[in-house]
Structure 1
C-alpha cells in the first residue's frame, strides 16, 4: 500500500513539474524542442521509474494509462488534416510516457478530419424564448468548432433554455458548408467581410433573443453543468458578469479569474498550475474574466454599448467590459470555479504577440485601455503579487471557520447548524475560509459551500499541504471560529500567526456532559474518567477564548457556574417548513425517529425504543410501524429491522416522512446540546414525545408543545395516549411553531452580530 501511494505521489508531482515548466517555457516563446532541455531529464527519470515500478506491481491506473496511449488513434491536440495518423499515435505514446498527458481532462474530445465532420450532423432544439444566447464567433478551425458544439450536446444545461448563434467571420475552410447543410437549431450567420472577434460578437449580440449573453470561444469544450453554475450567480442582483474556470487541453489551469495591475498589464491567475488547488476553487469577485467563457445580462451589455470598438479587432475588449460593469454599472465581476471550460488557447491567433499578427493588438490595446481607465487603475496593485491580487476584492472582514467535516447539512444536526451559521455569517459581510478537519472535499457539500461564496481548504495534496495552503493564502484573519475542543487544541497555532484575531470557541455541545451522562447510563467507570479529562480541556479552552459558544442556555449556565464569563448562546436554526399538504390526524400513521447513527446516543435511543418500549405498545396497537430515518445505520441499528420497523437509511428529502407520520418519538437517555431532531419535528408541526435530555435547552412546555417521558413506562403511556387522542395531538401541533421563534434566522442572526 505504501508503494502504491509513493508511486501516485511522485508520479503526480513530477508530471506537474514537467508540464508546468514546459508550458511556462512555451509562454515565453520556446518551441516544442524545449522538451529536450537537460533540466527535464531528472523529471523524466522519475516519471519513467514510476511507470516501470507500477507495471511490476500491476498498478491498475498506470497500466490503464499506458495501454490507452497505445490504443489511441486520435488526439485532441493534433489535427488529422495536418498530421498523419501514424505520426499522431507515435507522438501521443511518447508524450504519455513522459508525462505530458497525465492531466488531460477525462472525456476530452479528439479532433476529427474535416471530411469526417462533413458526414456528421448536429441538432439542437429550437427555443422561441431562450434564457441564454450562446454566442460562438468562428474563423476557420472547423474541427475545434465541431468539438465545441458536440461538448454542449454531451453536457446540456439542466435548468437553462438556450439558443446557439454561430457568427462566421469569412472562414475559408468547410465551416460554411457544414453549418448550412449539417446543423439544425443553430443560428448561423456569415459576414460579408472579415470583421474580427470584437465586431463579430457585437453583431451576434444584436440578434440574440436571450436575457443573458454568453460568449464562448470556438476552441473550447464545455463540461458538466457549466452553464447552470454561471446563471445561478445572477440570482444576486449585484452580479454584473460571470466567467468560468478555464483549463488548458493538457489539463493545467489557464485562468482562475484575471488580475489587472495599475499599469494596465494583466495576469491569468493560476496559469499553468494545478486546477485542484483550493486557492482556485472558490467563487470570488475579480478584476476581469476572459471572453473565452463570459456571461452578462443582455440589457447590461446593450446599455454599455457592447464591446468597445476602439479595441477592434480584438484583445482587451473583455477586460474593458468587465471594468465597465464594475465602474459604470456598479456591479460585480464574478469568477465561478464550478463552471469549468477546456480552452485550447491561441488556436486562431497564437499565444505570443508578434509583429503583424492579430495577437500584436494585445500591446496596442493595452495602451488604449490604460488611457481610458486611468483613474480606476490607480486603485489597483503596483506589484505583480498574484496571491494578494487575487484576494484584493474580497470583503474586508475575514473569518476562518473550522469544523470536523464540510457540513453534511442533510445528514446530521451539527452539520445543519454549521451550514446555516456560515450562511448567516456571509450575510453579515464576512469572507469565510472554511477548514474541514478531515480535509476531504466531500460532495455535494463542497459545491454547496462554494455556491454560498465560502472558500474551502480541502486536502491538497495531503493534510500538511492543506495547512501550508492555509498559511500561504490567508493574509489576515479578524475572527477564528473553531468548533469542538479537540480542534481548538489542534489549530491553536493559528492564534500565534494571527494574534489580533478574535477567538470563538464553539462547543457544539458540552462534550464532557454528554460523556458523563453516557458513563452513568452504561456504568462505565473509564468513561467517567475520560469525561473529567474532557471537562478540564473544555474549561481551559473556554477561559482562553474571547467568546465561548453554547447551543443552549442550560449549558451556558453550567459553564458560568464553573467561572466562565464569556459565554454566548448560538442555537440551532429552525424555521417553519412549508408543506404542499397538511395531513390531518386521521390521515397519518406510524412513529418516526431520525438521527445520524454514528452518534451513540441515537443508537441507544432506537434500541431502547424498539426492544423495550414498542413491544408493550404493540400489545395494544399491533399495527403501528416505526420508521428509523437517518444516515450511517450501524449493525446494531440494522438488526432492529422487521415487519414493524422500517430502516430506510439516509434519505435526502425527508419531508414525506414528517408529513405522513403521526408522532415523533425520541427516547434519548444521554447526550448534550440542542437536539436538531426535535426542532426539525416542530418545524413540520409533528407532535413530539421525548425525554428531558431530548428537550433540554429549548424552553419546551409539557403538554403545550411537547410531551416529556423519562422512563419506559412513561414512554409507553404517552405514546398510546397521543397516538389515539386527536385533541392532544392537535394542541401540540398547533403550538409547535411558536416554540421555534427563539431559533429563527432573524433571532440567531441578531445574536451572531453581537459576537462577531
Structure 2
C-alpha cells in the first residue's frame, strides 16, 4: 500500500530507446515504487513516437505548462511528499513554485550528468586547450550548483563528479548522493546465448544525436579515427546508430568507406550483439555513458576515450581499451577486433563491472534509508544548508517575478 506521493517533473518524456537519460529516470521511478510511493510524472514537452508508456508501470501522467499559474493549482492539489526534478533546468523553472505551494516537500534533483563539466570540456575543446578552472566556472556550472544548493539532495551518477563538486566547488557532501545506473544482474545463461567472437563482425557506435558530444564523436571518427582503422581492416564497416539523426549526420554516410549511418536502433541489444567492437571516442561530456553499458550488457568490448570511460570502471579493468591519442586509439581498436584472447578478456571484464558496480540490489536499501532520514530530519537538514536558504530567497525574488512577467505577457 503506497503511503506517499512522488512528483517527477521531466525535462522531456522518458525515451529509454533513445537515450541513457530515458533509461535512468525509469530506474529511479522503480526505486521509489519499491519504497512505496505513488508516482506522477509531469512534463511540459511534447511526446514522440519513442515516448515510453508510463501507464504500463502504474505511473500517472500530467501535462503541465511553463510559466503558468496552472502548475500551482496542480501541485497544490497533489501535495507530494517528494518532488524529483529531472535535470537542474527543471528546478529553475518549477522549484520556486514547489517551495511556495508545498514547502515541506523533499526536493531532489537527478542531475543526469554534471552539465557544467560537459560545457567546460566543450569550451576547452573549442580552444584546443586543457580543461581549467576558467572553463569549469562557466554560466552553466553556476546555474547548476545554485540548483543543487536550493534542493535538499542531488543524485550524482558518477564518483568523478562527486569528487569535482566537493573538492573543486566545495559543495557540502550532505547535499549529494552517489547513485549510478541501477541495472539488473546478467546471469550465466544469458551470457551463453550471446554471439561469440567468431560470429560477430564490424564496429558500432551509438548515441542520441540531440546530444552534442555524440555528433562530435562521430565527426571525429569520420575525419580522423576511422580512416586509420580502415587502412588496417579494409573489409570492416562502422555502423552508426542513434535517435534523432539530422541531415548533417546522414550526409556522413559513405558506403565506399564502410562508414554507414544506420539511424534509430529499434533494438539496441540486437545491433550491439552483432557488432564485434564498440567505438566511443568522446572528446567532451560528463556522467556515465549509456552506450558503454549497452556494450557491456551485450558482451561487446569497447575502444573508448578517457572521458567516455570516466566514472564507469572504478578499480576494475575496463571492457577494452581506454586511450585518447588518435593513432593509439585506432591501433587498440584493431587489436581488440582481431585478437580473440584480448576480446574475450575484455568481454569478461565488462560483465564483472556490471555485477560489481551497477547491480541495483546493491543500492536499494541505502537509498531508501537516505530518503526516509531526510524526510524525518528535513528542518535541521535545511538549517545546515544556509547557502541554499540564501539562494532560495534570492530566486524567489528574481526567477519568480521573471516568470510572472512572462505569464502576464503571455496572457
Q: Give the shorter-chain TM-score range.
A: 0.7 to 0.9
Q: After superposition, what is the alpha-carbon deviation per residue over 1:130-163, rounded to whole angstroms, capped at 9, x for unaligned?
A: xxxxxxxxxxxxxxxxxxxxxxxxxxxxxxxxxx
- Evaluate the alpha carbon distance shift between residue 713 and residue 484 of structure 1 in structure 2; reply closer, same or farther with a 3 A threshold: same
Aligned pair partner of 1:722 in 289, 312, 336: 336
Q: Which residue of 2 aligns with 1:495?
A: 99
- 2:370 matches 1:755: yes
Query: Contact 1:457–1:470 at 8 Å: present in 2 too?
Result: no
Alpha-carbon distance change, 490 to 459 in structure 1, aligned in 2, over 3 angstroms: closer
Q: Which stretches in structure 2 are left out of the alignment for 5+ residues?
A: 372-411
The CA deviation string for residues 299-333 of structure 1, in whole angstroms up to 9 with x for no partner, is xxxxxxxxxxxxxxxxxxxxxxxxxxxxxxxxxxx
Q: CA deviation at 1:661?
A: 0.8
Find the aligned partners of 2:114 and 2:57 in 1 and give their Cα distance: 29
Per-residue Cα deviation, 1:366-419 (whole angstroms, up to 9, x for no partner): xxxxxxxxxxxxxxxxxxxxxxxxxxxx82211111121111011001111011
Which one has more relative contact order, counting CA pairs under 8 Å at least 6 apart?
A: 2
* Cα 1:656–1:579 shift into 2, 3 Å: farther
Find out whether 1:575 has 2:184 as its counterpart.
yes
Measured in 1, the distance between the counterparts of 2:296 and 2:60 equals: 33
**Change over 3 Å in CA distance of 1:518–1:736 after alignment to 2:** same
User: Is 1:636 aligned to residue 248 of structure 2?
Assistant: yes
SS at match of 1:445: coil
Q: Paired residue for 2:33, among 426, 448, 465?
A: 426
Mapped partners of 2:229, 2:299: distance in 1: 23
Q: Is the 1:576–1:683 contact (alpha carbons within 8 Å) kept by the matching residues of 2?
A: no
Q: Within 2, Cα distance between the matches of 1:573 and 1:607? A: 31
1:505 equivalent in structure 2 = 109
Matches within 5 A, 1:312-351: none
Measured in 1, the distance between the counterparts of 2:74 and 2:182 equals 29
| Per-residue deviation, 1:464 | 3.7
- Corresponding residue of 1:619: 231
1:647 aligned partner: 261
Compared CA separation, residues 444 and 509, structure 1 to 2 (3 A): closer
Are 1:486 and 2:89 an aligned pair?
A: yes
Contact 2:67 2:93 in 1 (8 A): no
- Residue 450 of structure 1 aligns with which residue? 55
User: Which of 110, 123, 130 is residue 519 of structure 1 equivalent to?
Assistant: 123
Q: Which has the higher helix share?
A: 2
Aligned to 1:656: 270
Match of 2:297 in 1: 683
Alignment root-mean-square deviation, CA:
2.4
Give yes or no for contact 2:76–2:102 (8 Å, CA) kept in 1: no
Write the distance in 2 (CA, Å) between the matches of 1:702 and 1:425. 29
Describe the superposition over 1:81-140 as per-residue Cα deviations: whole angstroms up to 9, x where unpaired.
xxxxxxxxxxxxxxxxxxxxxxxxxxxxxxxxxxxxxxxxxxxxxxxxxxxxxxxxxxxx
CA distance in 1 between partners of 2:163 and 2:316 (Å) = 22
Q: Tell me which residue corresponds to 1:595.
A: 207
Q: Secondary structure at the match of 2:16?
A: coil
Distance in 2, Cα, partners of 1:435 & 1:755: 24
Q: Residue deviations 1:193-247, cap 9 Å, x none?
A: xxxxxxxxxxxxxxxxxxxxxxxxxxxxxxxxxxxxxxxxxxxxxxxxxxxxxxx
Are the structure 2 counterparts of residues 484 and 467 from structure 1 closer, same or farther at C-alpha, using a change threshold of 3 Å?
Answer: same
- In the superposition, the TM-score normalised over structure 1's length comes to 0.45
Instruction: Determine if contact 1:458/1:466 at 8 Å carries over to the other structure.
Output: no
Contact 1:595–1:631 (8 Å) recurs in 2: yes
CA deviation after TM superposition for structure 1 residue 730, in Å: 0.3
SS in 1 for 2:83: strand
Label 1:611 to 1:419 Cα distance change in 2 as closer, same or farther (>3 A). Answer: same
Report the counterpart of residue 312 of structure 2 in structure 1: 698
* Counterparts in 2 of 1:580 and 1:725: CA distance versus 1, 3 Å: closer
Q: Distance in 2 between matches of 1:435 and 1:640?
A: 37
The answer to whether the 8 A contact 1:583-1:659 is kept is yes
Alpha-carbon distance, 1:465 to partner: 7.8
SS state at 1:640 partner = coil
TM-score by length of 2: 0.81
Partners of 1:470 and 1:524 in 2: CA distance: 48
Report the equivalent of 1:218. none
Secondary structure at the counterpart of residue 109 of structure 2: strand
- The reply to whether residue 401 of structure 1 matches residue 16 of structure 2 is no
> CA deviation digits over 1:341-388, x for unaligned, max 9?
xxxxxxxxxxxxxxxxxxxxxxxxxxxxxxxxxxxxxxxxxxxxxxxx
Partners of 2:254 and 2:191 in 1: CA distance: 30
| Contact 2:191–2:299 (Cα < 8 Å) also in 1 | no
Matches within 5 A, 1:191-210: none
Query: CA 1:531/1:449 → structure 2, altered by over 3 Å: closer, same or farther?
Result: farther
User: CA 1:610–1:508 in structure 2 vs 1: closer, same or farther (change >3 Å)?
Assistant: same
Distance 1:477-1:696 versus aligned 2 partners, 3 A rule:
same
Is the CA contact 1:457–1:466 (under 8 Å) kept in the aligned structure 2? no
Q: Distance in 1 between matches of 2:211 and 2:281?
A: 14
Structure 1, residues 508-528: CA drift from partner, whole Å, max 9, x if none?
A: 111111001001111299xx7
Larger-Rg structure? 1
Question: How many Å apart are 1:420 and its aligned residue?
Answer: 1.6
Where do residues 16-95 of structure 1 align in structure 2 (5 Å cutoff)? none
Corresponding residue of 1:536: 142
Which residue does the alignment assign to 2:165? 559
